[in-house]
Structure 1
């Protein structure tokens, strides 16, 4: 059952936010209020729909309980009652899920980092395949992917590739992708036809806004250096690559993808802000042991989370025991939504079970 006081508190808070946004607050306050408004609005609409459906159900039941109601009214009310009961049941479940504890970063954009792990050249090729899978998935979601830095493998793929992904609820959908992804296949570089196992690691960090992380200019050491490249007419002849060190935390980022030092510095700051924000979130999460236990898997990026078996055309997510024989569709990005939706549903089910117990 839903606690009515929770719903009343939610509606009251939403009204406060609307009032606060209309009162011409300072820009920082407005950003915070608008983000809270955007996160609460879908749930508030569900709550309002639930209240409306419950009231209509009461009216229909009142007609059926009234002996003075004529036959036509009773028949209409009976049909409405059955439909409204289904509506109320669905809306109650939607609202219960909406009331689950929220990850404040769910609505944020994300930094996607894919790195080749064990397996040499084949691992780099697999890292490239994974990145293209996410790139295609992002396109299907209507998201924008922007490369921040990349280090190519010797025979293709990437030793490391980092990109920003922006759009609606990016982090909410991608956050369970962090971890070790394992591939089993015959490498293109293998003449003997033997199946090899290699791996790549994926890290998904929520992008931080200025209001999320306070970085002082005095805490930064910024170094410029000459970007390495393949040579030719586009060889970098200026010190355009940028390395930024955040002295208090020791976090270091380097970007050399653009020939413009200004652009590289902006991208490096974007990456630095995301890594510091992620570190702060990890620290806070480690202090909430029970909350971490309820996450899908441990969230540890050293944990093997998924296997892609090419000979069998199989993808298995080990955290939830999900196996799909849709490897081609998943690697093409279009089938990845089924895996992500299953992970989100499992996470929500665990939270609901914990609340009920």
Structure 2
């Protein structure tokens, strides 16, 4: 049976490069061979009943190798993604953003109000999320199940779920922001610049504006297009937005789609203003993905079903210093 580290590498590499080779064979064949070895080289109902737990473990290991990579690629600038063992609750530490106040002291008087220099820690609770899939038994016997595609689709499903949870958490956090750190209605470039300066001074760090390509394009359009240089126009045509507007660095958050929907997961009408290297979202993936057999007791047909389960938690670290601005919908 393939080693766990080799299987993890195979799953990651195969997801991003379906035409890859692994140990002299195609990546798809390598995954199929791993399943075949787990089944003792036989595609029969008896081999499935005897070895299905080994197959489930391979699928779970492959999914666990892919999902964190997909999330990191999408939200590395925004989210602190933690993989922890079952039962562990990681602490997300946030420095207290308040400055230390200096006051006048009368001669001989040392009575000063103390201020803590420690930050706060947050915990994010996880919940079970799951998906159920199946294949026809005839496909299994004929060796026609594309196991790598099964892994990729399950990994995508959980990634989309987490993306939606992150997007929902960011949207909900807008209402909790202090009025000084959000721009409501149709923001102007002046208002965004003022917000960015406030966040910069509060955090004592450079800041950038984050949003989808569509959102950043709206920010760029606020500047006088007639003042664009030739390079700026070329950049706008190439990327769809500018990397820098009025001294503000613009960084894209890749858009995502809600599952089985034409609706975007991330709001194209909001932008975030964040200090450099500040991650305002905490994501917890607790324990290994669990793949178990589905309930076939109520079925008369020959189908192989399985449930894929994962414990996930997402939360906004509210004490972080950041701002948000609403943009005019177009």
The two structures have a TM-score, normalised by structure 1, of 0.25
Higher-RCO chain (CA-CA 8 Å, sequence separation at least 6): 2
The structure where helix makes up a greater share of residues is 1
Using the size of structure 2 for normalisation, the TM-score is 0.26
